[in-house]
């Protein structure tokens, strides 16, 4: 019975929906994620400008569970540089203005770990956080990084944040030349709450493109920054460098969305500060923190 049910949902994110226990994604999971990143059927294009495109899942546009896919052409950034930027947690604290706190918790395998990330939501919504199992896989000149939510006994939900659930989130980086690549970001996240429609629209029309462009700027500046900050320290490439303690998978459990409190923010109006920020355009980011 279970095999039959699984076979009717070929694009389902297997790490959560297809399993009751925490497991490190296997080759089939990575292939499935890559296929969905490249798929066009069932996605609605909501934004396309200056080399950045954004899609939302057509069948889920009006549901609580939002699915979004962003793609960006990076003409002056090698695939390996973008891969390093997404892994480098110290550098993320410099360029990701949405981050409140982020840190790695433990190592599971040579290509998987557990980490914490909290981020600012558009005002006046409550800020969110997640605990995720992250795994990565170089595939020739291409790379995949993906994650899904887990429960860690030492990091329960906090009272000042809403614990969101990453059903499956990740990046596909595809090399298009010695100094160019294309990145696809796909996220299926349950924000644990009924969000107002302006948040959904803003995410796809403004926040996602802005975040992708900010990432691109960070990539351009990364080689110079890294030369000044432990240039040879890259545990995602050299697992023997990892300072993280090891953790058994049995210590973790799958974070099911229905076990967390729902927050109804559907009637929350966008703050004047947020509206002014959106009206100000997408190119007004301050990059001084990257030097």
In terms of phi and psi (left: phi > 0; alpha: psi -120 to 50; beta: otherwise), the region of 58 is alpha
Find tokens 């929350």 and name the residue: 268
Catalogue the E-assigned strands of the chain: 43-49, 52-57, 66-74, 99-109, 112-119, 128-139, 142-151, 162-163, 165-177, 180-190, 193-194, 253-254, 263-264
53 vs 122, higher pLDDT: 53
What tokens does 178 get?
């010695």
Closest CA to 169 of 53, 15, 9, 1: 15
pLDDT in tens, 69-120: 999 999 999 999 999 999 999 999 999 988 999 999 999 999 999 999 999 8
Rg, Å, the chain Cα set:
19
Does residue 260 have a pLDDT over 90? Answer: no
121 vs 61, higher pLDDT: 121
Task: Output the pLDDT for position 287.
Answer: 44
Segment 276-280 mean pLDDT: 43
Task: Output the pLDDT for position 115.
Answer: 96
pLDDT in tens, 3-24: 333 333 334 444 444 557 899 9
Least confidently predicted of 30-34, 168-172, 182-186, 263-267: 263-267
Q: Where are the alpha helices (DSSP H) in 190-271?
A: 197-202, 208-227
pLDDT in tens, 189-211: 776 666 666 666 666 667 788 88
CATH no. for 32-261: 3.30.530.20
Task: Output the pLDDT for position 63.
Answer: 54
pLDDT in tens, 116-174: 999 988 777 789 899 999 999 999 999 999 999 999 999 999 989 988 888 889 999 99
First vs last C-alpha separation in the chain = 56
Contacting residues for 65 by C-beta, under 8 A, at least 6 apart: 167, 188, 189, 190
């Amino acid at each position: 019975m279970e095999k039959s049910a699984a076979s009717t949902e070929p694009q389902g994110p297997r790490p959560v929906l297809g399993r009751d226990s925490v497991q490190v994604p296997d080759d089939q999971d990575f292939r499935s994620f890559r296929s969905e990143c490249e798929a066009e059927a069932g996605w609605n294009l909501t934004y396309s400008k200056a080399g950045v495109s954004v899609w939302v899942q057509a069948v889920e546009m009006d549901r609580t569970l939002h699915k979004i896919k962003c793609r960006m052409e990076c003409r002056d950034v090698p695939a390996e540089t973008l891969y390093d930027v997404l892994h480098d947690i110290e550098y993320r604290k410099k360029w990701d203005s949405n981050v409140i706190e982020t840190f790695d918790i433990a190592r599971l395998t040579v290509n998987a770990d557990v980490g914490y990330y909290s981020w600012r939501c558009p005002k006046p919504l409550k800020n969110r956080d997640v605990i995720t199992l992250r795994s990565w896989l170089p595939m020739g000149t291409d790379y995949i990084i993906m994650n899904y939510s887990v429960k860690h006994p030492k990091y329960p939900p906090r009272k000042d944040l809403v614990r969101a659930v990453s059903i499956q989130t990740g990046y596909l980086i595809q090399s298009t030349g010695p100094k160019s690549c294309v990145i696809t970001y796909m996220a299926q996240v349950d924000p644990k709450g009924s969000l107002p429609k302006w948040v959904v629209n803003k995410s796809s029309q403004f926040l996602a493109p802005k975040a992708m462009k900010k990432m691109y700027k960070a990539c351009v500046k990364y080689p110079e920054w890294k030369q000044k900050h432990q240039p040879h320290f890259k545990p995602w490439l050299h697992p023997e460098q990892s300072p993280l303690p090891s953790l058994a998978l049995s210590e973790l459990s799958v974070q099911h969305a229905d076990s967390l409190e729902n927050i109804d923010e559907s009637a929350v109006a966008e703050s004047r500060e947020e509206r002014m920020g959106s009206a100000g355009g997408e190119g007004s980011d301050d990059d001084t923190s990257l030097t």
